[in-house]
Structure 1
Amino acid sequence: MREELLKSIKARIMESRGTSDAAAVLDPRSLVEAGDLMRLAVAEQDPRMHDPEILMWAGLLHWARYLALPSGQDGPDLRRALGLFRMVRDIAPDWVPPHVRGYLDNAAELLLDQRVDELIANGRVLADKGAALGDLTLVDRAIGLFALAVAELPAGHPLRAGCLHDAGHVWLTRYHSSGLVADGEHALPLFREAVAAADDDSRTHLLAGLANCARMLFDRTGLPEYAEEAIRVGREAVKSAAPDDPRRAGPLGVLAVAMRSRFER
């Protein structure tokens, strides 16, 4: 049975290599075979010992699935693959495939990014569905997922600024549906934090997001401090982009709308 299962899993992996067709490794039966094989991985004479060949091929199956699945759905297979490869490394380091070794050295960081990607992807789906259906319970679930994602990311992490910005947008989604100023006021500090965490490449975009949020609050409340922030940050966003940068059009539009809003008041 061991050899038959190994042969089947190897064939699935080989079939998916070098082609765009990953059906063999994504077939649900591949996970059944991997589960059956893993039950044979423990040596009967010593439960502390595992068969490194079984661990390696089961790990390669999950690795192939991780590569084939879209972002947001690939996390469980990545975690399973890295866990199996770590076991292989502890037993027989030479069995670890060379292309995986570098990932093992950075497994904690990679797994963190995967967890956050899953939270963000699921949060976006819930937010979009909630907005389309007018269902604030779905939007609230999305807000919770983004809060978890932000909490996972330490200061200085390259994903943190974008995650904060997206979390602000989910609060704005709620704001548009509920009409509650408090929802917009929840969004504003998230946009501010995003700008504070921004790198040079994302700064223009994140500044424009902050300016737009402040302008929306001004439109609803008429409070001059929101208009002042929208225009000040909008000007900063425009200034942060080179004159020939195509991204400059976005903040220019945001600034123009903010100035018109104040003028019309």
Structure 2
Amino acid sequence: MHELMRSLGRRIEASQQSPDPLSLLGDDAMREAADLWAAQWREDAGVKNLPIAHTIAWLHWSRFKALPVGEDEADLDLALMVFAWVVEVAPQFVNGEVRDALTPGGRDARLALKTLHVVEYRDEPDLLDRAIDLGRRSLAPVGLPPANVARRSTNLGNALMMRYERRADPADLTAGVEAHRNAADAAHPADEVWPLAQSNLGNALLLQAQFTGDREQLDEAVEATRAAWATTPHHHPDLVWRCLNLGNSLRTRFERTAALADLDEMVRVLREAVALAPDGHVDRPMFFSGLTAALGLRFAHHGELEDLDAAVDAARAAVDACPLGRADRHRYLTSLSVMLERRYRRQRQAEDIDEAVAVAEAAVAQGSHHVSGSAARMSNLGGALSVRAGATGTIEDADAAVVACREAVRLGSARQGHLNLSDALHQRFELAGDLSDLTEAAATIRAALADADTGDPGTASLWLGLGLVLFSRFQRTGEEGDVGAALHALRTAASGRSPGHAMAMRAGAAWGLVAATVGAWSSAAEGYGVAVGKLTEAAWPGLRRDSQEQALRDWSGLSADATAAMIAAGSLGAAVETAEQGRGVLWAQLLQTRTTLGDLRAAAPALAARLDGQRRALAAAYTVD
């Protein structure tokens, strides 16, 4: 009898590590179990033997886990029947997983969880429905311990959210949020399940907020994901995912509200995610990619060169962390190309745009067998080629850019693909002078605008592109309809909701220029006024000094143009205010960088006294009310 029990024990233990556990728990194991029961009956006259009962129970429990869904319930019932006696006489031999299954509703909970694991990777609607029904039945008993409610509600919420993602039924989304909220309410902050419940609730609320547009749901999503991140132990393997979840919710809220605190917190937690992932971690490229996107977004808002350099470094690290031949490597190459192109646009270093093109070509080549993302890869390549064509005047790059962007649109690229195609056609017109390129460029953007949602802040870039194309065509043909449409497009771009100052400044300055060209001075003054109004944001005090100076150089003539337009429009008071506003930005930056004169006073007291007098005079001349 003892040898039979040892043999069966070895089978059960080996099955835990085997890729085919049923090969160890099949007919031979069942025969040994039957012989063991018979031997106990003969030797102990039917008295229950704890070690034997424990072994038999684990055999059926292991078989339940290994058998396919639908063929496993008999083994589960036998295991629970024997474990029920074992837990009465020796509870220390029964783990928490089995104890939960022995509570009211526990059998349904185990079946629901196993079914959910199966349908996670298989699209079987009937099984998913079964998992949800079992999950609801597991929560039906009255008086369940809060810990059991938390775990079972979590599993039910996961099943409902999975069904929502597959069938897009809003009722499942609402029920999923409710289940995850019940889990969070039932869990105690000291319980291990509490951070998981908060994380699941936050993710579900974020999805619901994106569906409903409800700001309160979005705020609650941020708070829940932040609570999950804050309470997950530093050594816990899920902490890196909690960082990503919090970063995702913060990014969604920032895109809705433009709250700078969310932007900075997002960068911090995504840097933490990168630091937590060791070298060789399979998802390390994805963590670097998330940080790249966060830094790129902060650069777009603040214009801080340090963020742009860091974004390029993070994108490059994502590529380096992704092995050659891995299926998703093309995504990280595309991200690196985008950041290099963005840095070229700011710093005009030829090596950046050359590398951007080379990396974009590599992304297209490596992703040639993957339909997903193919339009974005082609669009990115076309955009990089077009920028280089503008820098070098190379018509071959311009032609290649148009070909790539047309292919991107054919493959289904939406807004960015249409915008890149329009830019490529516009650039080729500048080099070759073919008016049909401008006609196609305008039609391309209008098609994208027709498909865009009303009020979408991302359409500002389309309106800006359309305005510039139409103005170029007006300059060639003199068609008055084009200039009127260009002014309308630029006004729309400048006044639309945008997450940063850059779009309003570009569109406002272009609006002012177009209006001034045709002598519409009141309109020109209005457009330039929009741009000047954003100048303090372009060179805000939080930037490093070199970034402030670069921003001011980029817009060095803006105040003068605006002042001239206002004078021509007869708005002399506004002209004076605008001139002072532009001058004030410059002086404000200088005054904020003043340092004490202690070192100079010690070396050259007379010079220090003269400089101090000049500084005081300047400070008195420029006073901010």
TM range (shorter): 0.5 to 0.7
Note if 1:70 corresponds to 2:62.
yes
Output aligned runs, 1:150-169, within 5 Å.
150-152=139-141, 154-169=143-158
Deviation of the 1:226 alpha carbon: 2.0
Identity among equivalent pairs (%): 15
Mapped contact 1:66–1:75 kept (Cα < 8 A): no
AA partner of residue 157 (structure 2): G
Return the offset for 1:35.
8.0
Shift of 1:213: 0.4
> Is the counterpart of residue 134 in structure 1 residue 107 in structure 2?
no
- Which residue is equivalent to 2:309? none
Match of 1:238 in 2: 229
Structure 1 gap ranges (5+): 1-8, 42-50, 87-98
Equivalent residue runs for 1:88-107 within 5 Å: 101-103=89-91
Sort the Cα spacing of 1:56 and 1:155 in 2 relative to 1 into closer, same or farther, 3 A. Answer: closer
Report the equivalent of 2:48: 56
- Change in Cα spacing, 1:160 to 1:15, as seen in structure 2 (3 Å) is same
Matched, 1:27 2:29: yes
| Superposed displacement of residue 181, structure 1 | 1.5
Give the counterpart of 1:222 among 204, 210, 213. 213
Confirm or deny that 1:13 pairs with 2:5.
yes
Rg larger for? 2
Contact 2:101 2:110 (C-alpha < 8 Å) held by counterparts? no
Task: Describe the SS at the equivalent of 2:62.
Answer: coil
Alpha carbons of structure 1 residues 206 and 222: separation in structure 2 relative to 1, 3 Å: same
Question: Structure 1 residues 26, 197: closer, same or farther in 2, change over 3 A?
Answer: farther
- Give 2:183's aligned amino acid: A
What is the alpha-carbon distance in structure 2 between the residues aligned to residue 204 and residue 121 of structure 1? 22
Q: Counterpart of 1:102 in structure 2: which amino acid?
A: A
User: Separation in 1 of the partners of 2:39 and 2:63?
Assistant: 27
Contact 1:207/1:233 (8 A) holds in 2 = yes
Aligned partners of 2:101 and 2:109 also within 8 Å: no
Separation (CA, whole Å) in 1 of partners of 2:98 and 2:154:
21
Once residues 15 and 140 of structure 1 are traced to their aligned partners in structure 2, the CA distance between those partners, rounded to angstroms, is 40
Q: Structure 1 residues 80 and 230, CA, compared in 2 at 3 Å: closer, same or farther?
A: closer
Q: Distance in 1 between matches of 2:232 and 2:36?
A: 52
SS in 2 for 1:164: helix
Aligned partners of 1:191 and 1:209 also within 8 Å: yes
Contact map agreement 1:63 1:78 (CA 8 A) in 2: no
Residue 187 (structure 1) shift: 0.6
Cross-structure match for 1:122: 111
Judged with a 3 Å threshold, the aligned counterparts in structure 2 of structure 1 residues 15 and 137 are, in CA distance, closer, same or farther, namely: closer
Closer/same/farther in 2, CA of residues 102 and 153 from structure 1, 3 Å limit: farther
For the Cα contact (< 8 Å) 2:108–2:135, is it kept in 1? Answer: yes
| Aligned mates of 1:125, 1:159 — CA distance in 2 | 16
User: TM-score normalised to the size of structure 1?
Assistant: 0.67
Which residue of the partner structure matches residue 326 of structure 2?
A: none
In the alignment, what sits opposite 1:44?
A: none
> Does the alignment pair 1:253 with 2:241?
no
Residues 132, 33 of structure 1: CA spacing in aligned structure 2 closer, same or farther, 3 A cutoff?
A: same
- Alpha-carbon distance in structure 2 between the residues aligned to 1:110 and 1:124: 13
Change (3 A) 1:61 1:30: farther
- C-alpha separation in 1, matches of 2:106 and 2:53: 18
Q: Which residue of 1 aligns with 2:82?
A: 81
Cα drift, residue 17 of structure 1: 5.3
Q: How far is 1:12 from its partner?
A: 2.0
- Higher RCO (CA-CA < 8 Å; seq separation 6+): 1
Once the two structures are TM-superposed, the CA of residue 216 in structure 1 deviates from its matched residue by 0.8
Superposed CA RMSD: 4.0
SS in 2 for 1:54: coil
Which one-letter code corresponds to 1:235 in the other structure? R
Aligned partners of 2:118 and 2:239: how far apart in 1? 31
Unaligned runs of 5+ in 2: 16-23, 66-74, 257-625
Amino acid at match of 1:256: G
Tell me if the contact between 2:203 and 2:221 (Cα under 8 Å) persists in the aligned partners.
yes
Partners of 2:110 and 2:83 in 1: CA distance = 22
Supply the distance in 1 between the matched residues of 2:7 and 2:239 (Cα, whole angstroms).
Answer: 47
TM (normalized to structure 2)?
0.32
What is residue 160 of structure 2 aligned with on the other side?
171
Q: Which amino acid aligns with 1:195?
A: A
1:46 equivalent in structure 2: none
In the aligned structure 1, how far is the partner of 2:38 from the partner of 2:102?
Answer: 27
Write the distance in 1 (CA, Å) between the matches of 2:118 and 2:76: 22
Q: Say if 1:72 and 1:163 are closer, same or farther in 2 by CA, change over 3 A.
A: farther
Q: Give the secondary structure class of the aligned counterpart of 1:159.
A: helix
Corresponding residue SS for 1:70: helix
